Amino acid sequence: MAIQRTFVMIKPDGVKRKLIGEIVGRIERKGLRIVAMKMVKIDKTIANKLYEEHLGKSFFNELVEYITSGPVLCMVIEGDEAVKVMRTLIGATDPKDALPGTIRGDLALSKGENVIHASDAEEKAKREMALFFSTNEIIE
């Protein structure tokens, strides 16, 4: 078993549409464990760090505006190969390509407002977790 931790965030559209319970339920029913959780309003400084890999791309400013537009629910999820399992659970970025049964396939409305984010690699998860959580906020 390769127990990992990953960063997951319910985006502003998911919070606004009252999908938190549905999404958290799916994560828990999958057998993953939530070891940290908090609702935050992301400021532009943190948003720039979160999306730094997209800096200079045509959609960068749009990403920052969207993610700072309302509260988000940030989580640290733990489980066997948590990064891979969460990425499978959320589905493709564009909900038109996401399979039925995935979070985005069932709940997302558009590529721009796709309800949820999950880190796509273990190193990225560590960086993203550190943006939102101190080590004493994560349950051991």
Distance of CA 46 to the CA centre of its chain: 14
Rg of the chain in Å (alpha carbons)? 14
Is 54 catalytic? The answer is no
Catalytic residue among 117, 128, 129, 133: 117
93 marked ligand binding residue: yes
104 marked ligand binding residue: yes
17 marked ligand binding residue: no
11 marked ligand binding residue: yes
Kindly give the interhelix angle for 82-90 and 20-29, rounded to the nearest 10 degrees.
Answer: 130
Are 140 and 18 spatial neighbours (Cβ–Cβ below 8 Å)?
Answer: no
114 marked ligand binding residue: yes
Binding-site positions for ATP: 11, 59, 87, 93, 104, 114
Q: Catalytic positions, please?
A: 117
